[in-house]
C-alpha cells in the first residue's frame, strides 16, 4: 500500500528518485513546448491555452487516480501530505507569482526547464527567482506575521463546501470539460481561425463523453472509509454480521501464558487506555484500522488478533472493518472490557468464602484476579519507558 516512502523507498533514496522524476518531468515539459515563454504567456493573452489544458488534465487525472487507489486500498490517504493553507500569504504569493509569470514568461518549473537548455531569458528569470527566495529568507522576520496569518490548516474543498468527495470530483471534471470548450472557442476567435469554431466536433463530443464517464466513475468509487463508517451506523447490519469471539477467561489465560502470537487492538479512549491497558495491546481508533501501520499488523501470519472495547458492540465494529478489508483472523472480546473487569479483575468467589467446593473456572479466576493486575502494572511501566511510534506524513508537494 502506498505511499512508497519510507518503507519501499527510503528517506535518502527518496531524494534520488525525486531528482530523476524531476528530470523526466522537465524533459516532458520541454518536449511539450513549455520552455517557450511565448507559448506560456499565451494563456494570459488568449491565443494559446495549452498550459491550462495540460495542468487541468494532469489535475483531474491525478484526482481520479487517487480516488480509485484509495477505494481499492492501494493508497493510505491519511498519509498524503496536504500543504497547510495560510490564506493571506497564499493570496500575496499568488499575486506575486502571477505577475512574475506574465512579466517573465515562465513559472518556476518551466523557467528551470528552459534555463537547462540554455535560454538566456530563462536563466535571467531563474536568477531573479533565487534573488526573490534570498530576499524572502533574509526579510522573514518582517513578514512573518503576514506569512502565518489566517491558518486554515489542511482543508479539503469538498469538506468546506459540505458535499461528498464523489460529487466534487464529478463537478470538477465537468468544469474541466467546460473550460476546454471555452478556451478552444476563445483561441479560435483571438487567432482568427477561418471556418467553424469547432471543425472536429465529433472528436470533441467523444472526448467530452469519455471525460463525463470518468467523472461519473467517482460515484462508484466512494471513499471506502466513509462508506464503511456509514454501514456501521446501522444497528441491524452490525448485529447480523458474524464475528468470532474470545472469552475473558481465554484472553486472560493467553496473557498469563505470555502467548507470543497474541496481539490486542484496544478501541477505548486514550485516557481509558492510559489508566488500564492490557499487555500486548495497542490503542487505536476505528479510523486507524484503515491505515497502513495497523493493516500491516493485522496481516502478520499466524497471529491471534483480538479487538477489545468497553462493550462488545464497539469491538465488533472494529472487527467488521478488519473483516471487510480482508482480514479474517480477527476476534472480539466477548462482553468487552466491562465483562473482563467483572469476571477477572474484580472477581470475588462467594463459594470460596463459604468453603463450598469451587469449580475450575472459579479457581482460575481467583488466580487471574491476582496475576493480571500485576501484568497490567508491569505493562504500564514498559509503555511509559517506550516512545509511541506513529506513522508520519512525508512532507512534500508543489
Provide the 8-state DSSP code for 111. H
DSSP structure class, residue 342? I
Average of per-residue pLDDT across 58-78: 87
Q: Band of the pLDDT at 391, cuts 50, 70, 90? A: low
> What predicted TM-score, i.e. pTM, was given to this entire model?
0.72
CA pair distance 175, 177, nearest whole angstrom:
5
How buried is residue 322: exposed, middle or buried, by Cβ count under 10 Å (0-12/13-18/19+)?
A: buried
Task: Work out the average pLDDT over 117-138.
Answer: 92
The residues, any chain, with a CB within 8 Å of residue 86's CB and separated by 6 or more, are 147, 148, 149, 150, 151, 152
Band of pLDDT at residue 184, cut at 50, 70 and 90: confident
Closest by Cα among 219, 208, 187 to 45: 187
Q: Give the pLDDT confidence score for residue 272 in this predicted structure.
A: 93
**CA angle (180 as vertex; 178, 186 as ends), nearest 5:** 105
pLDDT of residue 195: 56
pLDDT band at 296 (very low <50, low <70, confident <90, very high): confident
Average pLDDT of the residues in 320-347: 92
Mean pLDDT of 249-271: 94
- The answer to whether residue 256 scores a pLDDT higher than 90 is yes
Read off the C-alpha cell for 232.
456501521
Compute CA distances 125 → 4, 29, 64, 110, 115, whole Å: 34, 17, 34, 10, 8
pLDDT value at residue 3: 74
Mean pLDDT, residues 29-35 taken together: 85
Q: Quick one: residue 326, left, alpha or beta (phi over 0 = left, psi -120 to 50 = alpha)?
A: left
Q: Is 211 helix (H, G, I), strand (E, B) or coil?
A: helix
Residue 283, helix vs strand vs coil? strand
Amino acid at each position: 500500500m502506498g505511499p512508497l516512502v519510507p518503507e519501499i523507498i527510503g528517506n535518502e533514496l527518496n531524494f534520488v528518485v525525486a531528482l530523476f522524476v524531476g528530470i523526466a518531468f522537465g524533459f516532458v515539459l520541454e518536449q511539450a513546448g513549455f520552455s517557450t515563454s511565448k507559448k506560456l504567456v499565451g494563456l494570459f493573452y488568449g491565443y494559446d491555452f495549452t498550459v491550462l489544458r495540460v495542468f487541468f488534465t494532469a489535475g483531474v487525472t491525478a484526482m481520479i487516480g487517487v480516488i480509485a487507489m484509495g477505494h481499492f486500498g492501494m493508497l493510505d490517504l491519511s498519509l498524503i501530505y496536504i500543504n497547510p493553507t495560510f490564506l493571506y500569504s497564499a493570496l500575496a504569493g499568488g499575486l506575486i507569482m502571477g505577475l512574475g509569470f506574465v512579466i517573465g514568461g515562465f513559472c518556476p518549473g518551466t523557467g528551470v526547464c528552459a534555463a537547462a537548455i540554455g535560454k538566456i531569458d530563462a536563466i535571467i528569470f531563474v536568477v531573479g527567482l533565487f534573488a526573490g527566495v534570498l530576499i524572502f529568507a533574509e526579510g522573514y522576520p518582517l513578514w512573518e506575521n503576514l506569512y502565518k496569518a489566517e491558518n486554515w490548516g489542511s482543508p479539503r474543498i469538498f469538506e468546506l463546501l459540505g458535499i461528498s468527495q464523489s460529487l466534487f470530483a464529478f463537478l470538477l471534471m465537468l468544469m474541466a470539460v467546460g473550460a476546454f470548450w471555452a478556451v478552444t472557442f476563445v483561441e479560435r476567435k483571438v487567432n482568427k481561425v477561418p471556418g467553424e469554431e469547432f471543425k472536429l466536433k465529433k472528436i470533441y463530443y467523444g472526448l467530452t463523453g469519455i471525460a463525463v464517464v470518468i467523472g461519473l466513475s467517482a460515484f462508484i468509487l466512494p471513499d471506502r472509509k466513509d462508506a464503511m463508517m456509514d454501514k456501521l451506523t446501522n444497528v441491524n447490519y452490525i448485529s447480523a454480521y458474524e464475528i468470532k469471539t474470545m472469552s475473558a477467561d481465554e484472553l486472560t489465560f493467553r496473557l498469563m501464558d505470555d502467548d507470543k502470537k497474541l496481539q490486542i487492538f484496544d478501541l477505548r479512549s486514550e485516557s481509558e487506555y492510559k489508566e488500564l491497558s492490557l499487555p500486548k495491546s495497542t490503542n487505536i481508533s476505528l479510523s486507524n484500522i484503515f491505515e497502513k501501520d495497523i493493516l500491516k499488523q493485522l496481516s502478520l501470519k499466524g497471529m491471534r488478533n483480538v479487538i477489545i472495547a468497553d462493550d462488545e458492540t464497539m469491538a465488533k465494529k472494529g472487527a467488521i472493518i478488519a473483516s471487510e478489508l480482508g482480514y479474517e483472523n480477527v476476534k472480539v472480546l466477548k462482553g468487552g472490557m466491562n465483562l473482563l473487569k467483572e469476571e477477572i479483575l474484580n472477581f470475588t468467589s462467594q463459594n470460596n468464602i463459604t468453603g463450598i467446593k469451587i469449580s475450575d473456572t472459579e479457581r482460575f479466576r481467583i488466580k487471574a484476579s491476582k496475576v493480571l493486575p500485576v501484568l497490567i502494572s508491569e505493562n504500564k511501566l514498559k509503555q511509559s519507558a517506550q516512545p509511541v511510534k506513529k506513522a508520519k506524513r512525508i512532507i512534500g508537494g508543489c
